[in-house]
Structure 1
């Protein structure tokens, strides 16, 4: 666990050290990459997150989704089921609030919740990744829990939904991530300059 926390610290510092210009360029390159991705082009329901803590800015891509009549969903911390996420429809009119981590999320409204199995693609944030598809998150396990049932199905059915794609800056690639039994590997990861498939 100490190794994982040290890796988180080092990689977050690298990400936070990126200049505004580097962040802007990375966001443009990411959007170009995502909007031509075959799975994205054919998807109707896309879950993504709003950038925080130096993460890749996803707003340009979200706006493209809206312009192309794709439904966008953002994660909301589940109010009763600890460590779990809900996904709520997100539009330019969505009322937002800050969660306990200080991250903007849609104000909870049961009418806006989309069941995870109805989502085509789920873009996951992460702190670090390696070339085997191992992903290191912030440590709360939210996305590992979210993707647990998908992963069980994916072992026998590669078409199971939602298809997870990690998003990261190039500097978040590390040589190796010490994994734990609960970690869910991702089949694909996209940086501003590269697509990794695992």
Structure 2
């Protein structure tokens, strides 16, 4: 079995496990994990100080709901950006949002995205932390994404421009942790992984 086939199988299995959580259980665990993430971001206050932005995914379907972190950032006047994707080039841009009213529910592939009139955040070096989505992770902080490569391509821009990559923070349910995620040369690990039972650095 090739790594690609293995990743495809692992994605199906991970999505099934995450979808298998009852909605009430998923909501409670999301809240607990977000509180731990907020504690981490508060302790590591320099990440989002001096006008640095948070770059976060906008949750959909059974993804862990990071809305409490977004609202925490807004409440502290921390700039919040979210990805807008180009389905042709498979590139994404960080776009500023200041409320959920600036989010449209059905962007490409049915995911939530900033509305077209929201401004692009052009200062890559002023993003202090990226909340990375994923279907599965392992104890070495390897990440299994959805297969589009959007985040890996975005992060590669930092190297090409000689910029330091922001801290990558991932939030996941325990059921998303697997023994080993297959890793390719272009894959980026996360720096910190938080679940309802552990903080892995």
Fold shared, TM-score > 0.5 on shorter chain: yes
Deviations 1:127-185 (A, max 9, x none): 1111112111000000111112446899xx9xx34211122111110001122222112
Is 1:120 the counterpart of 2:128? The answer is yes
Residues 3, 95 of structure 1: CA spacing in aligned structure 2 closer, same or farther, 3 A cutoff? closer
Question: d(CA) in 2 for partners of 1:42 and 1:4?
Answer: 32
Q: 2:38 aligns with which of 35, 38, 50?
A: 35
What is the root-mean-square deviation in Å for CA atoms of aligned residues?
A: 2.3
Structure 1 unaligned residues grouped into runs of 5+:
none
Q: 2:93 aligns with which of 86, 92, 109?
A: 86
- Give the equivalent residue in structure 2 for 1:194: 198
Shift of 1:16: 0.6
| SS state at 2:80 partner | strand
Question: d(CA) in 1 for partners of 2:93 and 2:188?
Answer: 18
Provide the aligned length of Structure 1 versus Structure 2: 192
Structure 2 unaligned residues grouped into runs of 5+:
none
| SS state at 1:101 partner | helix
- Give the equivalent residue in structure 2 for 1:12: 15
Instruction: Give the 5 Å matches for 1:61-80.
Output: 61-78=69-86
| SS state at 1:122 partner | strand
Question: d(CA) in 2 for partners of 1:27 and 1:172?
Answer: 13
**Kept in 2: contact 1:23–1:56 (CA 8 A):** yes
**Kept in 2: contact 1:151–1:184 (CA 8 A):** no
- Give the equivalent residue in structure 2 for 1:139: 147
